[in-house]
A and B are shown apart, each in its own frame.
Chain A
Amino acid sequence: MSKDQELLEELANSEYEYGFSTNIDTEILPPGLNEDTVRFISAKKNEPAWLLEYRLKALKHFLTMETPDWQNFNFPDLNFQDISYYAAPKKKALASLDEVDPELLETFAKLGISLDEQKMLSGVAVDVVFDSVSVGTSFKGKLAEIGVIFCSFGEAVQNHPELVKKYLGTVVPATDNLFAALNAAVFSDGSFAYIPKGVRCPMELSTYFRINAMNSGQFERTLLIADEGSYVSYLEGCTAPRRDENQLHAAVVELIAMDDAEIKYSTVQNWYPGDKDGKGGVYNFVTKRAIAKGRNSKISWTQVETGSAITWKYPSVILKGDNSSGEFYSVALTRNRQIADTGTKMIHLGKNTKSRIISKGISAGHSHNSYRGLVSIHSGAVNSRNFTQCDSLLIGDKCGAHTFPYIEGKNSSSIVEHEATTSKIAEDQIFYLNQRGIDNEKAVALIVSGYAREVLNKLPMEFAVEAQKLLAISLDGSVG
């Protein structure tokens, strides 16, 4: 065996060490959800008894819950007994990129995604993921030196059970909502990060792990803890369209910031949106919540949502610590038959708490885009402030933009501001840009990136450039 080949083999095997694909292709649980399912999952993951208890309690609660009816779309026909909860459906590996949908490849090319990554994302068998594995490993080492724990959720359960036990479900209780309960019962894997006191995490977490993180499944669980005075920026997702056989994705993300800590969480979501009629797209029903627990703590959510047939999520902040602040910056783009019902909740509990909400909806085709937000000022939240700006951009005349802002004020020293606009891309704007030599596609991209600029500016630089391209590509052919 040549040396290169040895190296490849080693790398290929070393992937298993990290638990991304241990044995899963051999064991598939038949569809159905009951106690046995949960016990099976927990046992497979070699979980401690308390975690099994946690899952079982969640399941018990889940089985008593009704599907919600307050959302601004028709609830899809979901039968929870039809889903296989410990299935890593073995994707049929394609032999080469030639077998991949050319449209998808074109998108990859436009996004500037490397060939190896293209193969990974479209399910082509890859010989080696040299870069991502080696880079990933060396960064893990660097992080460990400064005490940052960053690993898969499963690893965290094994290696840091005390931290997981202490914080799991403290921000999103298992009883929170139907999908949070389901996730708590059957979550597959996900990410865990702990930033110790006073540490400023020197790199954007997860950038280098995006390929590895891909297979963490349809019930992802993320738990991030920033201890006193620490800082972390976390990136989730990737701009490349991700095809997935699992239609329902119900992730839970919990963020906890102690005194003087700051967490910046950025998401680019581009799950498969289905065909032109919305058939086959992913249901992205996610519960994301953060608690700004300590004094002067800060949470910032930034999201660019372009994928999924239905996106349904409200990354929220509980502003518990005095002087804590929460931010939510969002761009949600829908087209064809896509639906987005997204926004945030800012729960002001502490004194002098501040929140800021900037939401930019873009609707094209026959899609519907809703902003739904709650700003709740509790009686103890004296001198708290909120500013909300909620804009909608319509492209064409078949789409819809909806706004559902809820405001609750329980003390008189607080100030809440809400601004909202709805606009259309005017033909005049496109013609003006055409007249300066810019074609329709670029004109729309320019107008939309201008519209979303305030939010895109909040993303880490590299991500922002990709997100801008993604918006442009997503709107390809929507105008003119």
Chain B
Amino acid sequence: MLNITNLHSSIEGKKILKGIDLKVNAGEIHAIMGPNGSGKSTLASVLAGKAEYEVTEGEAFLDGKNLLEMAPEERAREGLFLAFQYPVEIPGVSNINFLKTALTEIRAHRGLPELTSKEFLKLLKDKQELVELKSSLVNRSLNEGFSGGEKKRNEILQLAMLDPKLAILDETDSGLDIDALRIVASGVNKLRTENNAFVIITHYQRLLDYIIPDFVHILYDGRIIKSGTKELALELEEKGYDWITQHETGTV
């Protein structure tokens, strides 16, 4: 589904990604771990098409389509979803109006008609239960005045509504208490099918207690230096990032 080869990217002339190779198949969950500044969030931003990041080398394909040639909204319509680490607030735009607009755009791209209000509200209600988000929050302005946990759950609600092929969760666990973490994780587990895939970017292992990844990759200094299964995450948790950095220095 997602096929990244030798991806290099820099921001304001500073190299961040230095050759990423990653292959994600439908039905899989991949976790990407790494210390601060290793390039985890950059990878997410580059895939989503954030303008500040320049891709200097390499390729990224989603279901055979060249992501790097598409505008951010086209990538989204093709089925790439990014759950933001810091969801932005948009005053005066109701969550519900925003969701309807986004869903209509994405459905149109898939050749589907706009949902009637009734259908839309029914869908929203179902998905809302999935992430245990209070109804009052969908009528409020988008993310405005939401708590950290509410913002993250709202990201998962959008994920559930937009039904992407590939979802990238960028440190969705950061700043979440244990209950919110459980809700977010259970949402993801329920949304998981054999036709979609998840890339979970996280600093800590704890989210992976709830969402069991098929693969774990360790990102360090702009490269994936180690890949494995969920045991790798546990080992990392136990030994700390120093183990990796020493390991890395050792192999050079």
Residues of A within 8 A of B (CB): 426-429, 431-440, 442, 446-447, 449-454
Distance in angstroms between the alpha carbons of A453 and B50 in the assembled complex:
28
User: Which residue of the partner chain B has the closest CB to A442?
Assistant: B101
**Of A437, A442, A446, A449, the contact of B162 (CB 8 Å cutoff):** A437
B146 to chain A, nearest CB (A): 14
The reply to whether A438 and B101 contact each other, CB–CB distance below 8 Å, is: yes
**Of A427, A434, A435, A451, the contact of B91 (CB 8 Å cutoff):** A451
The reply to whether B90 and A437 contact each other, CB–CB distance below 8 Å, is: no
Given contact pairs A442-B101, A446-B98, A446-B101, A434 touches B76 in the complex (Cβ within 8 A): yes
Distance in angstroms between the alpha carbons of A14 and B73 in the assembled complex:
53
The reply to whether B88 and A428 contact each other, CB–CB distance below 8 Å, is: yes
Distance in angstroms between the alpha carbons of A431 and B75 in the assembled complex:
12
The reply to whether A449 and B105 contact each other, CB–CB distance below 8 Å, is: no
Instruction: Give 13 A-B pairs besides A437-B73, A446-B97 with Cβ atoms closer than 8 angstroms.
Output: A426-B88, A432-B84, A434-B76, A435-B48, A435-B75, A436-B102, A437-B77, A437-B106, A437-B162, A442-B101, A447-B93, A449-B93, A451-B92
Does B158 count as interface, using CB distance less than 8 angstroms? yes
Distance in angstroms between the alpha carbons of A450 and B91 in the assembled complex:
6
Does B35 count as interface, using CB distance less than 8 angstroms? no
6 A-B pairs with the lowest CB-CB distances in the bound complex, closest first: A450-B92, A450-B93, A434-B72, A436-B102, A437-B105, A437-B76
Does B65 count as interface, using CB distance less than 8 angstroms? no
Chain B contacts with A in 62-103, Cβ cutoff 8 A: 71-73, 75-77, 81-82, 84, 87-88, 90-93, 97-98, 101-102
**Of A433, A436, A438, A453, the contact of B92 (CB 8 Å cutoff):** A453
Q: List 5 A-B contacts (CB under 8 A).
A: A431-B51, A433-B98, A437-B109, A438-B73, A447-B93
**Of A432, A439, A440, the contact of B90 (CB 8 Å cutoff):** A432
Interface-centre pick from A435, A447, A451 (highest chain B CB count, 10 A): A435
Query: Which residues on A sit within 8 Å (CB–CB) of B82?
Result: 435
The reply to whether B105 and A431 contact each other, CB–CB distance below 8 Å, is: no
Distance in angstroms between the alpha carbons of A434 and B50 in the assembled complex:
10
Distance in angstroms between the alpha carbons of A447 and B91 in the assembled complex:
8
The reply to whether B71 and A432 contact each other, CB–CB distance below 8 Å, is: no
**Of A436, A440, A453, the contact of B158 (CB 8 Å cutoff):** A436
Distance in angstroms between the alpha carbons of A438 and B105 in the assembled complex:
6
The reply to whether A449 and B92 contact each other, CB–CB distance below 8 Å, is: yes
Distance in angstroms between the alpha carbons of A446 and B141 in the assembled complex:
12
A435 to chain B, nearest CB (A): 5
Query: Which residues on B sit within 8 Å (CB–CB) of A429?
Result: 88, 90
The reply to whether B88 and A439 contact each other, CB–CB distance below 8 Å, is: no
The reply to whether B49 and A447 contact each other, CB–CB distance below 8 Å, is: no
Query: Which residues on B sit within 8 Å (CB–CB) of A428?
Result: 88
Distance in angstroms between the alpha carbons of A159 and B75 in the assembled complex:
66
Distance in angstroms between the alpha carbons of A453 and B93 in the assembled complex:
8
Query: Which residues on B sit within 8 Å (CB–CB) of A436?
Result: 76, 98, 102, 105-106, 158, 162
Chain B contacts with A in 154-168, Cβ cutoff 8 A: 158, 162
User: Which residue of the partner chain B has the closest CB to A436?
Assistant: B102
Distance in angstroms between the alpha carbons of A437 and B90 in the assembled complex:
16
Residues of B within 8 A of A (CB): 48-51, 71-73, 75-77, 81-82, 84, 87-88, 90-93, 97-98, 101-102, 105-106, 109, 141-142, 158, 162
Query: Which residues on B sit within 8 Å (CB–CB) of A439?
Result: 71, 73, 105
Distance in angstroms between the alpha carbons of A433 and B162 in the assembled complex:
13
Interface-centre pick from A427, A437, A451, A452 (highest chain B CB count, 10 A): A437
The reply to whether B76 and A435 contact each other, CB–CB distance below 8 Å, is: yes
B227 to chain A, nearest CB (A): 27
B88 to chain A, nearest CB (A): 5
Distance in angstroms between the alpha carbons of A433 and B109 in the assembled complex:
16
The reply to whether B105 and A447 contact each other, CB–CB distance below 8 Å, is: no
User: Which residue of the partner chain B has the closest CB to A480?
Assistant: B51
B6 to chain A, nearest CB (A): 24
A378 to chain B, nearest CB (A): 35
A164 to chain B, nearest CB (A): 42
Distance in angstroms between the alpha carbons of A440 and B72 in the assembled complex:
10
A119 to chain B, nearest CB (A): 31
Distance in angstroms between the alpha carbons of A432 and B93 in the assembled complex:
13
Query: Which residues on B sit within 8 Å (CB–CB) of A433?
Result: 90, 98, 102
The reply to whether B72 and A431 contact each other, CB–CB distance below 8 Å, is: yes
Given contact pairs A437-B102, A437-B162, A446 touches B90 in the complex (Cβ within 8 A): yes
A129 to chain B, nearest CB (A): 34
Distance in angstroms between the alpha carbons of A453 and B94 in the assembled complex:
10
Interface-centre pick from A433, A446, A449, A451 (highest chain B CB count, 10 A): A433
Distance in angstroms between the alpha carbons of A177 and B114 in the assembled complex:
53
Distance in angstroms between the alpha carbons of A449 and B141 in the assembled complex:
12
**Of B77, B92, B97, the contact of A452 (CB 8 Å cutoff):** B92
Interface-centre pick from B76, B92, B109 (highest chain A CB count, 10 A): B92
The reply to whether A432 and B101 contact each other, CB–CB distance below 8 Å, is: no
The reply to whether A450 and B90 contact each other, CB–CB distance below 8 Å, is: yes
A196 to chain B, nearest CB (A): 39
User: Which residue of the partner chain A has the closest CB to B50?
Assistant: A431
Query: Which residues on B sit within 8 Å (CB–CB) of A438?
Result: 73, 101-102, 105
Query: Which residues on A sit within 8 Å (CB–CB) of B105?
Result: 436-439, 442
Query: Which residues on A sit within 8 Å (CB–CB) of B49?
Result: 434-435
Distance in angstroms between the alpha carbons of A449 and B94 in the assembled complex:
10
Query: Which residues on A sit within 8 Å (CB–CB) of B90?
Result: 429, 432-433, 446-447, 450
Distance in angstroms between the alpha carbons of A438 and B72 in the assembled complex:
9
Distance in angstroms between the alpha carbons of A453 and B144 in the assembled complex:
15
B87 to chain A, nearest CB (A): 7
Distance in angstroms between the alpha carbons of A439 and B76 in the assembled complex:
10
Distance in angstroms between the alpha carbons of A437 and B112 in the assembled complex:
14
Interface-centre pick from B76, B77, B84 (highest chain A CB count, 10 A): B76
